[in-house]
Each structure stands twice: as C-alpha cells, then as structure tokens.
Amino acid sequence: RLRALNRLQVILQHLKMSKQTDSAAEVLLEKKGGAGVITLNRPKALNALNLSMIQKIYPQIKMWEQDPETFLIIIKGTGGKAFCAGGDIRAITEAGKVGDKLIQDFFIGEYRLNNAIGTCKKPYVALIDGITMGGGVGVSVHGHFRVATEKTVFAMPETAIGLFPDVGGGYFLPRLSGKIGYYLALTGCRLKGRDVLKAGIATHFVESEKLPALEKDLIALKSPSKEKIADLLNSYHMKCTIDQEKAFALDEHMEKINSLFSANSMEEIVKKLKQDGSPFAMKQLETINKMSPTSLKLTLRQLREGASMSLQEVLCMEYRLSQACMKGHDFYEGVRAVLIDKDQSPKWKPSALEEVSDEFVDNCFKPLGNNDLKL
C-alpha cells in the first residue's frame, strides 16, 4: 500500500515537472553576461501574458534587482510578429463566467509586475518589436527604455471590449503631450513605427533587423550605468534612417485632438465632435460610438484622476475598476463580439452614454477594503 502511494507521488511529481517545463517554455529567463534577459515565448498567441508567465517574471525581476552581477534587464518577444499583444483575455473571460479567482489573481499579479518594472532600480530595456498592446504596454512602458522599430504597432484597444486601458494606462497616458493619451485611450487608435516614438511612448527607434546586434552590444557592456546604456541606444537610434523625414501621423490633427478631448465628460466630447463636423472629428465620433459607453466613462475618469496620481495609486485605482468590469456585462459581451464570435457587433448594456449614471461610475472607483490591491 505504501509502495503504491510512493509510486503515485513519484508520478504526480513527474507530471508536475513536465507541466513546469511546458509552461516554463512560455517565458525564458536567462542571464547573459551582465544582463537578465526575459523572452516572452508564446508566438502563436502573439506572446500574450498569462498568469503563469507573470508569476515567473515578477520574482525574477526582484532577484535581478538585488543581484550585484546583474546590471540591466532586457525584455523581448519571439516569433517576429509581436512583442506582446496583451493579457490572456480569453482565460480571464472563462474564469469570470464561473466565478474563478483567476479574475482577482491575474490582475493582482499583472499590476504588481507593472509596479516592479516602474520601480526597478536596474535599467530596464524593452525591445517592443511588432504588436505591443494592452498587457504588452504594461511590461514595457514603465521601464527606463523602450525601443520601437518599423514593425511596432502600439494600441490600448480596451474600450472596444468593455474594459479600460489598465496596466498603468491611467499613469502614462495623461502624461503624454497635449491630449494624445486621452485620444489613444478612448478611440483605441493604433500608432505604427516611428509614430510610437513621436507620441512619447518609445524612447528610441531602431531597425528591427538591428535588434539582435543591439542586444549583443547591451549584453557586452561592462558594468554599465544608465548613461552608458542610453549612449549605446542613442548611437543605434541616430543611425536609423527609416521614416526619418515622415511627419508624425497625428501632427495635422493635434490642435483638434487637444481641444476636442479636453472636455470634462464623455457627453461633452461627443457634443464637441459633432459640432466640429470635420472629417477627422466625424471619424472619431464613429469610432467612439462603437465602444462600450461604460468603458468610455470609466476611462475618461481614470485618466483625469490618474494625471495627478503616483503609479502605485493608479494601479490601486485600476484594480478596483478591473473588479467592477469583471462583475459587469460589457467585458464578456465585448470579448464575445471581438475575440470569440468575431461578429464585431457587441450589444452594450447600457447602450448609451446618458444611461451610464454618475453613481454607477462612482461605485466602480470605491475602495475594496481588505480586497484592495496591495503593492
């Protein structure tokens, strides 16, 4: 009987190990020279972050931060298409439908990771080559250096799926110049290539094919300071001529963006867009009309409040909002319409901005007592 039990334990142990090696492959954590290198390795899922990846990356960053032999941290994605297309939304949706605690655990883990990156004492270099959206923005934008390429596609498309631009979006978006952040957050507008740099989201711009050489040079730096790393990135950046002459895609619209998106309420933004009547304004109106009215109202307030908060306060606020969205209707409906059935016609509840009451919005921002996010 005892032997059978032992055998069972051995089998279980073995299963656990094989499971670990499978999931370990989803993210590679390697020490190369003086650099800790994080490689997001789910190319088929466009390197979307799941909880097991988050739970491996977080302690590793904390360890490297304390290690005197680690001088910088590099994060990148595999597969050539995406740096990281976001969080594992499908898993969260499934969990939310059955009341699984993944809907708490995922956001707690993700936001703690965002904070660890935002407070990391070691220089943190994100190579944001390819699609960089949602959760992918969260593991890059709060670091010291973000290197975009001609293949980078940035977006915070959450209002289209009944969510809001989280992962610290309430911190970095309102800090972009003018009202660009508000515009990006509410419309989910995509920025490509050099525009990601011009908007202030990336710090450097380098050809995609030069990234392996850049990474090699970063790893080869001898006990580098932040200045030395900046110098190396600058030297690559200066040599990159792709789209150098091209004007920022939003330049011609900046005046309109700054005036139209400076309103205090969503209803007012919509009114201003209608009054403006230009092709640009009408296009934004059309986009906004497709988004979840609840998400739009939560997002506008998130950014307005986040503008004067610390990253930690923002993440705490966003955790409250995430849990409100998990209890609501629009997130599940948005994921169904955009990611699962792909019919692109979500039925939002409520379906109009006017029907989303201030009282409802206030409730979403209320503290959760013992259940608040602890950083």
- One digit per residue, the tens of pLDDT, for the chain of length 375 reads 667 666 666 666 655 554 444 555 899 999 999 999 999 999 999 999 999 999 999 999 999 999 999 999 999 999 999 999 999 999 999 999 999 999 999 999 999 999 999 999 999 999 999 999 999 999 999 999 999 999 999 999 999 999 999 999 999 999 999 999 999 999 999 999 999 999 999 999 999 999 999 999 999 999 899 999 999 999 999 999 999 999 999 999 999 999 999 999 999 999 999 999 999 999 999 999 999 999 999 999 999 999 999 999 999 999 999 999 999 999 999 999 999 999 999 999 999 999 999 999 999 999 999 999 999
Q: Is 305 a catalytic residue?
A: no
- pLDDT value at position 7? 66
> What letter represents residue 18's amino acid?
S
Closest CA to 364 of 290, 301, 287, 285: 301
Closest CA to 189 of 301, 89, 288, 116: 288
Choose the catalytic residue: 135, 138, 188, 306: 135
- pLDDT value at position 18? 47
- pLDDT value at position 1? 62
φ, ψ (nearest 5 deg) of residue 139: -95, 10
Asked whether 180 and 250 are in contact (CB, 8 A), the reply is yes
Residue 268 is encoded by which pair of tokens?
A: 């007012």
Q: Is 158 a catalytic residue?
A: yes
Which SS3 state, helix, strand or coil, does residue 254 take? helix
Break the chain into its structural domains and give their ranges: 25-371
Q: Is 195 a catalytic residue?
A: no
Q: Where are the alpha helices (DSSP H) in 80-206?
A: 89-97, 102-118, 135-138, 169-172, 180-187, 194-198
Closest CA to 61 of 149, 142, 171: 142
In which region does residue 263 sit, left (phi positive, over 0), alpha (psi from -120 to 50) or beta (all else)? beta
Dmax (CA) for the chain in angstroms is 81
**Alpha-carbon span 370 to 373, nearest angstrom:** 9
Choose the catalytic residue: 86, 87, 143, 334: 87
- pLDDT value at position 223? 86
Choose the catalytic residue: 88, 129, 158, 195: 158
Which SS3 state, helix, strand or coil, does residue 143 take? coil
Closest CA to 155 of 191, 186, 130: 191
Residue 358 is encoded by which pair of tokens?
A: 């201030």
Q: Is 231 a catalytic residue?
A: no
* Axis-axis angle for helices 180-187, 293-306 (nearest 10): 160
Asked whether 142 and 175 are in contact (CB, 8 A), the reply is no
In words, the CATH class of domain 25-371 is alpha beta
Residue with tokens 């934004």: 284
pTM for this prediction: 0.93
- pLDDT value at position 216? 98
**Alpha-carbon span 295 to 334, nearest angstrom:** 11
pLDDT tens for 311-352 read 999 999 999 999 999 999 999 999 999 999 999 999 999 999
130 CB burial (10 A radius; 0-12, 13-18, 19+): buried
DSSP 45: G
Which SS3 state, helix, strand or coil, does residue 365 take? coil
Choose the catalytic residue: 110, 129, 166, 215: 166
27-32 and 35-40 beta bridge pairing: antiparallel
Residue with tokens 């298409």: 81
